[in-house]
């Protein structure tokens, strides 16, 4: 895989909930989804671009959106706070080059 050149990246929020001493604790951590010519990489998964069929998003407030990765493993959902338009367009341009 040619992962030397990062084409695009987007930050998502990973939310962990736990109960400590009877109180709900919520920890939000910023993580990245990185798009390379051959791969799309998150901290927990790596997909060959051919196995990512589409990327879409839906706004559910003025600030927050859900980003959907449509893959051979199903649809993965990520909460994002930045505009994903550039990331999605870069992915779609890359997919059109390959097909």
**Per-residue pLDDT tens over the stretch 16-46:** 999 988 999 999 999 999 999 999 999 989 9
| Nearest C-alpha neighbor of 58 from the set 78, 38, 72 | 78
**Structure tokens that stand for 15 in this block:** 């939310």
- CB-CB contact of 12 with 33 (8 Å): yes
Pick the CATH number of 6-98 from 3.40.50.1000, 3.40.50.1780, 2.70.98.40, 2.30.29.30: 2.30.29.30
At 96, is the secondary structure helix, strand, or coil? helix
- CB-CB contact of 64 with 40 (8 Å): no
- CB-CB contact of 3 with 39 (8 Å): yes
Q: What are phi and psi of 25, to 5 degrees?
A: -115, 135
| Digit-coded pLDDT (tens) for 36-79 | 999 999 998 999 999 999 999 999 887 889 999 999 999 999 99
């Amino acid at each position: 895989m040619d992962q030397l050149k990062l084409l695009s990246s987007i930050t998502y929020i990973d939310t962990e909930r736990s109960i400590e001493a009877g109180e709900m604790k919520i920890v939000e951590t910023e993580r990245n989804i990185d798009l390379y010519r051959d791969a799309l990489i998150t901290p927990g998964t790596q997909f060959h671009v051919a196995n990512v069929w589409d990327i879409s998003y839906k706004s559910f407030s003025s600030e927050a959106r859900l980003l959907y990765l449509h893959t051979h493993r199903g649809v993965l959902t990520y909460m994002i706070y930045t505009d994903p338009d550039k990331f999605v367009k870069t992915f779609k341009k890359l997919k059109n080059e390959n097909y």
